[in-house]
Amino acid sequence: MSPLTDQTAARPQPAGDAAPLAGRVALVTGAGRGIGAAIAERLGRAGAAVVVNDLDGALAEATAAALRERGGEAVAVAGDVTDPEFAERFVACAISAYDRLDVIVNNAGFIWGEAIGRMSDEQWDAMLDVHLSAPFRILRAAAPEIRARVREERARGERVTRKVVNVSSVVGLDGQAGQVNYGAAKAGAIGLTKSLAKEWGRWDVNVNAVALGLIETRLTVAEQVETIALGDREVPATLPVGLAQGMADQIPLGRLGTVAEAAGAVYLLCLPESDYVTGEVLVCGGGFGG
């Protein structure tokens, strides 16, 4: 994988409507399939080079390969976002491959719910680890690089707006029975977003969140329980079978969202047109919640 040319490594300029993210480098976690893959595809189609992460290295590489086949730039980084050493490696890969860092999308996650009386400490910790601690570590790892690049850019008389989008959930805003761990973690992601927006505003970094509603993925509409690797074992990682479809009549738009629509909401917050939007939560739920 060759790095971007010196020309694209200079201050990025929108290249018309077809490539508004040309010259940008985006990091996307959990992008091997589903919502994450759709986000990576949308950012890549807009001209960004994408650093694709997934727990499953083969899936990460498949997403990256698909982007390259369409003429884009992409590199895969396999790894568990909850590994304390992952964040530094993820950020370092972006710098090594493309020598810049412009967009961070913290998307990786899964659902492991239970009524609170039967919920284990392991279930509680797992949700906070993947949905809150992992994004925190990635953003912490990115901080020195962002600060250094901003100082260099300003010394040259340039200002570059960078983007962070944390994927939250309507459950973090409105709650859901049987998901106190997931809801607490997703609410925490919103607190992280709003606080970091105030901290990183001086570096021209927009920090926003997208609170997703019911999106049609393998984790929401599976006909059987899907699992995810957690350490040396597999744990359930889906809503109860049929629950999401049964809740569809509570959505004002009358249907579940698609992964492309979820990716579109993230994309809106990565565009130059949203450069004066920060510390906000964009709800992408078809009117569900409240």
Which one, of 35, 23, 31, lies nearest residue 76 by Cα?
31
C-beta of residue 72 within 8 angstroms of C-beta of residue 46: no
Please indicate whether residue 182 is annotated as part of the active site.
yes
Question: How many CA atoms within 13 Å lie on the side-chain side of 147?
Answer: 8
Cα distance between residue 225 and residue 21, in whole Å: 38
Catalytic residue among 98, 182, 267, 276: 182
Is there a contact between 203 and 143 (Cβ–Cβ < 8 Å)? no
**Best CA proximity match to 180, nearest among 220, 228, 126:** 126
Is the C-alpha dihedral spanning 207, 187, 43, 29 positive or negative? positive
74 burial (CB, 10 Å; 0-12 / 13-18 / 19+) is buried
Which residues belong to the active site?
182
